Amino acid sequence: MTAEDPVKKPDLQGRPEIVKLVNTFYDRVRADAVLGHIFDQVAQTNWETHLPKMYAFWETVMFRSGGFTGNPLAAHAKLVALTDMGRDKFDHWLKLFCGTVDDLFVGEHADHIKNCAADMANVIFSRINQVPDPRFDPANLTPEQRERYARYKSQPQPATP
């Protein structure tokens, strides 16, 4: 291999890569001027429990094997009363997360985890701030989705945590 050959990055395959991604991402989050204080000062996160919870979360999302049983909406809804959890914060979180994925991994699973993160950032942001989810903007819906969403909206909704 010559100096010019890029070293091929691996794809996410399972738990070991999830652990590496989560550890690297939260090292960056803690050092980040926009997000670090939300964990260390506002939520006073216990990293010894939060990191294993996040390994389980992402393993469950990606490989259905992590055994995650938390409540992400409630965890973030609590923060709204304590700090700004606006769109800029979520965009910044997403940029940091996707940048970390890109620095470490390449491939189908790497692309998938970035898409999942973007979807969940949309859901969490819109639910905790009571703003419409852009995925359900009528302008973006197919007729079939519009019909399904109308049915969903007419059902009684569970109380927001």
Instruction: Write out the binding residues for ligand HEM, residues 108-137 only, by CB under 6 A.
Output: 117, 120-121, 124
Q: Which stretch binds ligand HEM (CB under 6 A): 11-19, 65-73, 107-115, 128-136?
A: 65-73
Contact pick of 26, 55, 93, 105 for ligand HEM (by CB under 6 A): 93
Contact letters for ligand HEM, residues 10-39 (x by CB under 6 A):
-------------------------x--xx
| Distance from C-alpha of 52 to C-alpha of 33, rounded to nearest angstrom | 24
Name the minimum Å distance from CB 16 to ligand HEM.
Answer: 20
Place of tokens 């965009």: 91
- What is the crossing angle of helices 87-104 and 15-30, to 10°? 130
Closest distance of CB 6 from ligand HEM, Å = 29
Q: Please say which residue, 90 or 105, places its beta carbon nearer to ligand HEM.
A: 90
- The size of the interface with ligand HEM (CB under 6 A), counted in residues, is 22
Closest approach of Cβ 90 to ligand HEM, in Å? 5
By beta-carbon proximity to ligand HEM, the closer residue of 10 and 72 is: 72
Give the length of the chain: 161
| Cβ neighbours around 18 below 10 Å, total | 24
Instruction: Give the residues lining the site for ligand HEM (CB under 6 A).
Output: 35, 38-39, 43, 45, 50, 53, 57, 70-72, 75-76, 79, 85, 89-90, 93, 117, 120-121, 124
